[in-house]
Structure 1
Amino acid sequence: MSPRVPLRPLARILEARAKGENPDLIERENKHRRHEDMRDRARLRAESRLVVLAGLFALAFGAVGVKMGTIASSDPSEPRAHAAGAAIAAARADITDRNGRILATNLVTHSLYAQPPQMVDPARAAAELARIFPDLDEERLLGWFTGTRKFLWIKKRISPEQKQAVFDIGEPGLLFGPREMRLYPNGTLAAHVLGGARFGQEGVNAAEVIGVAGIEKAFDDRLRDPARAGEPLQLTIDLTVQAAVERVLAGGMTMMNAKGAAAVLMDARTGEVVSLVSLPDFDPNDRPSPLVEGNPSDSPLFNRAVQGLYELGSTFKIFAVAQALDLGLVSPETMIDTRGPLRWGKYSINDFHDYGARLSVTDVIVESSNIGTARIAMQLGAVRQRAFLEALGLTTPTGLELVEAPGAKPLVPANWSELSTMTISYGHGLSASPLHLAAAYATIVNGGTRVMPTLVRDGPIQRGPRVISPETSAIARDMLRQVVTRGTASFGEVPGYEVGGKTGTADKPKERGGGYYEDKVIATFASVFPADDPRYVLVLTLDEPVMTSGREPRRTAGWTAVPVAAEVIRRVAPLLGLKPQIEPLTPTGVTLTSN
């Protein structure tokens, strides 16, 4: 125990005792003085603290006032929530048709994820989730929730109704994250043009949307550019026309028992693709998985109009005739030897019918003579024929703004011999897509200038180089018109609209072993309208069609592709703003006079 410290000064105590005074008074006086000193020091400390606290309050209120003034003087804007970590660019521009109607846009939705350590009743959560989402397995969910995982995705996209149902479970370990998903409000319409999109980089509070095919992938950088998020990508597609073409083509495909179908409707002057259809199709909102085996063309993802490379048969005949006319080798009235068969080595070329010993060049097209076209091609030669087809774009990819287009390079013979020259003249030995054919026909009938197909409206379109003369183009248009009025495409006539075109029926090559099927064809009708001054080209192709409504099966284009194309033209011509031509009334000999 430490010694007691005296409170009284010893000298004064001794002096007080000597004088007979009470020493306790001295002790009380000393204690009182010390208490006063302690109160003074405590008051000074309290006053200092109050001064500091007042200063801090003044600074805080000043900062709040400055911030309020800054906000009041700035432009109003919607507050945004920011997640930790690197920002994910979720914005994506809309895609519209030529008239500004929405083809692809964004929809705000939510994702569902779980944090198992925060779960109260994992078994109940697993059971309720399996009830809300029938595709989820309850046992697997329970294994995840009771395991060692701290985070897991359950659903990348859920509907508002599903979100409410999950919220009603009341499980704190089930959480939602905001999402901006890609929406195609028209479903399957223009599916092969748009392609589709999926989530790329993902976070809890955002996910980027990236294109996987079609326009979405070809223009992915442009659509994801934050600086252009409010600027829609406008296509040349017409939504109404596209819907009409798809509906008619689907009906024709069913009626003709075809395996697949494709159609390309193009502006003959500019190359703008107004409609592009491939059947069967798919819904880009729920894009199917690609095939892992078998023929890619069996997948609904396969774009027959762009990726499909086919021998397009007699539709090629107009190219050989147009080139010969332009070179001055023949005239429309020049007579061509059509006696058959035409032999070259061990091979022979025959016509579908016996057309007699001679046909005029015009009738070679109208009657679709293989022999006559082959003899004209022999006058051209392989070198000139190949150069002409190259000028028409039939030997290289089209350059269309789809990610699939660069891979669709026409199949040309390794050795372009004289036999190849003859067979290619009537559409065998060179495989191209319906889109290639549409662009080539547009070049032939629009006055002879090269057309480059396009799907994007991006400023004025430059006129292409000249391929044939305007005079040759006019003759070719007249020949194509006669094919409809008195030739193999008689079912292609549409009252009020002069239709011209050329049929093509090509045997389908076997996938293995070489050779051709005897009962499978690619039927094509390449049409133009109005024929006197073509505004549009329509190429329609049916894969393995067979019309069974008659006495015997018919597979040729005149019986299958032509009537379907005629119905397409009848439906879309008014939608394109083309007024029907009214035939003048026959004079009656009665004159109307006024009194």
Structure 2
Amino acid sequence: MIGFIVRLRSRAHFRMEVKGKAPGGTISGSGARRTRQARQRLTLLIAAFAIMYVTIGARLVQYGMADPSVTGAISFNTHAMASRPDILDRNGELLATDINTVSLYAEPRKIIDANEVVEKLATVLPNLDWKDTHRRLQSGSAFQWLRRQLTPKQQSDILALGIPGIGFRPEKRRFYPGGPVASHIVGHVNIDNLGLAGMERYIDQQGYADLRSVGLTSDTRLEPVRLSIDLRVQNMVREIAAKAMVDYQAEAAGAVILDVDTGEVIAMASVPDYDPNQPSRTLADGSVDKEYEKGWFNRMSNATFEMGSTFKSFTLAMGLDAEKINLNTVIDASRPIRMGGFTIRDFKGKYRPLSIPEIFQYSSNIGTADIADRVGIEGHQEFLTRLGLLSKMDTEMPGVATPTQPRTWKKINSVTISFGHGIATTPLQTAVAAAALINGGNLISPTFLPRTIEDAAIVSRAVIKEKTSADMRYLYTWNGLKGSGRAAQVEGFNVGGKTGTADKVINGRYAKDINFNAFVAGFPMDDPRYVVLTIVDAPKTGVNGGRTAASTAAPMTKEIIARTAALLGTKPSFKIEGKPQMIVNY
């Protein structure tokens, strides 16, 4: 009985299962739904994988057909390959040019072990900043510079290391074959080849920067920029200035040669200077060498000084041009002048009446003060303004200093300015004004670009009478033969000039034991072609132990003229007593 009941229940269960089948033998109900969902999911998964693999395959085919490029997917400065024009001297000698180089970059997202990369790079790159480089490599960015402008050997050595995730990018680098010889004139560029100083900056200001910004200078050979300077003469002038700074234990020295008929700057040097190939230096501890960067300061055009007794040239010219004096005028210089609580006295007084040539020869403060008083304050100020000594100089050179003068001119100001105290101007500006005194009376703005006499005539401006200029040539010649200019005399070249020894202004006060010395000269004085101005800042000694301009700046001028006159096309002439004048040709 029990067995019969078990068999009936088994049959009933079987009939329920069979009832759950749909016609055709398919399973219906919740089991069927689960089956359909599983099949749908599987189909979608297969489709997704198929699409992904097709996309990857298509991209691989695209990359395979594209041109290979090391930095094609990396964002960088698109102007780095821009060309700059060569800079040449007046004779076509190269002063600055572009060279091709490479820079090292990293793709931090592809760097596996930053520590290993830093260690390897340090074996090739000197002074590598481990901490900064490690930070860059772990930044997770797409691009980081590691070192700009490598040498070919450094590039080769890094390639040999086989480091993944780093690469090289071609760039332009500025190269200056002469190094520091003309650094203050030519200037320098930054790491991106943009002009920062000197004529390099001037080139950018003339439209090059705009052309570069729109990509019109890339891989384009630009017309060279020719300057007025003569590299041969420039090298000599700088060498003499550097030697004077060392020999005289001076803080600085400088010199400029100016064509009096065109205003062209033939040479200009200011030492200490710097190498534009290496505008800054890094010390062993990683800090910037501030002493080296002091060489950036151009004392000839970007600094103002009280030029001392060289200003007596302008005071005498002022008196002559205003017809308050003539070469035969005699001025009483026997006693000091007392004015407004100040006493004006001569450095080495003669304590007697002096003629105008003697006032120039003996550099009499009393005599020049008298002349300034005769002209008057307004006339004095107007004359110096006419000579361009009270306003900023107009020239291509960026970074030109503006002269300083008293806010209100009083009589005591006019008197002290007459002998070079109380007004500060640039040495180059002083040379330009001196050129106007001896070239017939025409003020010509200085230029660092070639200029013809015809072009100079367009920009020149008559500032004194021709007779005044002739009188000044006489006074310069007189002082060159009888006065302090004897220390600059070069046999055969008839050098005339005027010394200037001024107490240097430090923290607003005159230092009695520190001088700023200058000498302005013209040659040959019978038909002047060039002006030479030399400066020596704070010398501790000089020729025969003296510290004045006659013992420092004047000997510099002598050496400059002796070494460069022939290169400048000036022929010496020697007049032998009892015989006709003889011209000697080299």
Please state which band the TM-score falls in when normalised by the shorter chain. 0.7 to 0.9
- Structure 1 residue identity aligned to 2:226: Q
Distance of aligned partners of 1:548 and 1:241 in 2 relative to their CA distance in 1, 3 Å threshold: closer
Alignment of 1:398-409 (within 5 A): 398-405=393-400, 408-409=401-402
Alignment of 1:174-193 (within 5 A): 174-193=166-185
Determine the C-alpha separation between the residues in 2 that align with 1:130 and 1:123.
11
Normalization by structure 2: what TM-score?
A: 0.80
Distance of aligned partners of 1:334 and 1:144 in 2 relative to their CA distance in 1, 3 Å threshold: closer
Query: What residue number does 2:460 align with?
Result: 464
Whether contact under 8 Å (1:340, 1:351) holds in the other structure is: no
Query: What residue number does 2:223 align with?
Result: 231
Whether contact under 8 Å (2:274, 2:292) holds in the other structure is: no
- Structure 1 residue identity aligned to 2:426: S
**Cα deviation digits, residues 552-575 of structure 1 (max 9, x gap):** x42110111101110011111111
Query: What residue number does 1:531 align with?
Result: 525
Query: What residue number does 2:125 align with?
Result: 133
Task: Tell me if 1:249 matches 2:228.
Answer: no
Whether contact under 8 Å (1:223, 1:229) holds in the other structure is: no
Distance of aligned partners of 1:172 and 1:340 in 2 relative to their CA distance in 1, 3 Å threshold: same
Q: Helix, strand or coil for the counterpart of 2:536?
A: strand
Determine the C-alpha separation between the residues in 1 that align with 2:542 and 2:420.
26
Q: Helix, strand or coil for the counterpart of 1:190?
A: helix
Task: Tell me if 1:259 matches 2:251.
Answer: yes
Query: What residue number does 1:118 align with?
Result: 110
Q: CA deviation at 1:369?
A: 0.4
Determine the C-alpha separation between the residues in 2 that align with 1:426 and 1:363.
15
137-146 or 326-335, larger mean C-alpha shift: 137-146
Distance of aligned partners of 1:325 and 1:515 in 2 relative to their CA distance in 1, 3 Å threshold: same
- Structure 1 residue identity aligned to 2:567: L
Distance of aligned partners of 1:289 and 1:104 in 2 relative to their CA distance in 1, 3 Å threshold: same
Q: Helix, strand or coil for the counterpart of 1:439?
A: helix
Q: CA deviation at 1:549?
A: 6.4
Determine the C-alpha separation between the residues in 2 that align with 1:143 and 1:400.
46
Task: Tell me if 1:427 matches 2:420.
Answer: yes
Query: What residue number does 1:63 align with?
Result: none
Query: What residue number does 1:371 align with?
Result: 366
Task: Tell me if 1:329 matches 2:347.
Answer: no
| Aligned sequence identity (%) | 36
Alignment of 1:228-307 (within 5 A): 229-288=221-280, 299-307=294-302
Task: Tell me if 1:358 matches 2:356.
Answer: no
Query: What residue number does 2:188 align with?
Result: 196
Q: CA deviation at 1:146?
A: 4.8
Determine the C-alpha separation between the residues in 1 that align with 2:23 and 2:498.
124
Whether contact under 8 Å (2:494, 2:523) holds in the other structure is: yes
Q: Helix, strand or coil for the counterpart of 2:266?
A: strand
Q: Helix, strand or coil for the counterpart of 1:352?
A: coil
Whether contact under 8 Å (1:94, 1:223) holds in the other structure is: no
Query: What residue number does 2:437 align with?
Result: 444
Determine the C-alpha separation between the residues in 2 that align with 1:543 and 1:357.
33
Task: Tell me if 1:344 matches 2:339.
Answer: yes
Q: Helix, strand or coil for the counterpart of 1:411?
A: coil
Determine the C-alpha separation between the residues in 2 that align with 1:263 and 1:345.
37
Q: CA deviation at 1:392?
A: 0.5
Whether contact under 8 Å (1:90, 1:180) holds in the other structure is: yes
Distance of aligned partners of 1:530 and 1:180 in 2 relative to their CA distance in 1, 3 Å threshold: same
- Structure 2 residue identity aligned to 1:538: V
Q: Helix, strand or coil for the counterpart of 1:277?
A: strand
Q: CA deviation at 1:585?
A: 6.2
Query: What residue number does 1:382 align with?
Result: 377
Q: Any stretches of 5+ residues in structure 2 without a counterpart? A: 1-21, 25-68, 581-586
318-327 or 159-168, larger mean C-alpha shift: 318-327
CA RMSD of aligned residues (A): 2.7
* Residue 318 of structure 1, aligned match among 313, 320, 336: 313
Determine the C-alpha separation between the residues in 2 that align with 1:311 and 1:233.
34
Task: Tell me if 1:410 matches 2:394.
Answer: no
Distance of aligned partners of 1:581 and 1:411 in 2 relative to their CA distance in 1, 3 Å threshold: same
Query: What residue number does 1:213 align with?
Result: 197
Whether contact under 8 Å (2:71, 2:169) holds in the other structure is: no
Alignment of 1:5-84 (within 5 A): none
Query: What residue number does 1:479 align with?
Result: 475
Determine the C-alpha separation between the residues in 1 that align with 2:85 and 2:267.
22
Q: CA deviation at 1:289?
A: 7.6
Distance of aligned partners of 1:178 and 1:395 in 2 relative to their CA distance in 1, 3 Å threshold: same
Q: Helix, strand or coil for the counterpart of 2:296?
A: coil
Q: CA deviation at 1:327?
A: 1.9
- Structure 1 residue identity aligned to 2:358: D
Q: Helix, strand or coil for the counterpart of 1:168?
A: helix
Alignment of 1:501-520 (within 5 A): 501-511=497-507, 514-520=508-514
Determine the C-alpha separation between the residues in 1 that align with 2:292 and 2:367.
34
Query: What residue number does 2:584 align with?
Result: none
- Structure 1 residue identity aligned to 2:410: S
Whether contact under 8 Å (1:507, 1:516) holds in the other structure is: yes
Q: CA deviation at 1:265?
A: 0.9
**Cα deviation digits, residues 343-392 of structure 1 (max 9, x gap):** 11211101011212200011101111000010011000011111111110
Q: Helix, strand or coil for the counterpart of 2:521?
A: strand
* Residue 84 of structure 2, aligned match among 61, 78, 92: 92
Q: Helix, strand or coil for the counterpart of 1:348?
A: strand
* Residue 498 of structure 1, aligned match among 494, 501, 511: 494
Distance of aligned partners of 1:223 and 1:190 in 2 relative to their CA distance in 1, 3 Å threshold: farther
Whether contact under 8 Å (1:188, 1:282) holds in the other structure is: yes
Whether contact under 8 Å (1:95, 1:235) holds in the other structure is: yes
Determine the C-alpha separation between the residues in 1 that align with 2:83 and 2:579.
66
Determine the C-alpha separation between the residues in 2 that align with 1:585 and 1:119.
86
Distance of aligned partners of 1:304 and 1:140 in 2 relative to their CA distance in 1, 3 Å threshold: closer
Q: Helix, strand or coil for the counterpart of 2:167?
A: strand
**Cα deviation digits, residues 308-348 of structure 1 (max 9, x gap):** 11110110111111121122211101101102211112111
- Structure 1 residue identity aligned to 2:489: E
Q: Helix, strand or coil for the counterpart of 2:190?
A: strand
Normalization by structure 1: what TM-score?
A: 0.79
Q: CA deviation at 1:95?
A: 1.2
Distance of aligned partners of 1:580 and 1:587 in 2 relative to their CA distance in 1, 3 Å threshold: closer
Whether contact under 8 Å (2:186, 2:200) holds in the other structure is: yes
* Residue 565 of structure 2, aligned match among 558, 573, 581: 573
Q: CA deviation at 1:489?
A: 2.0
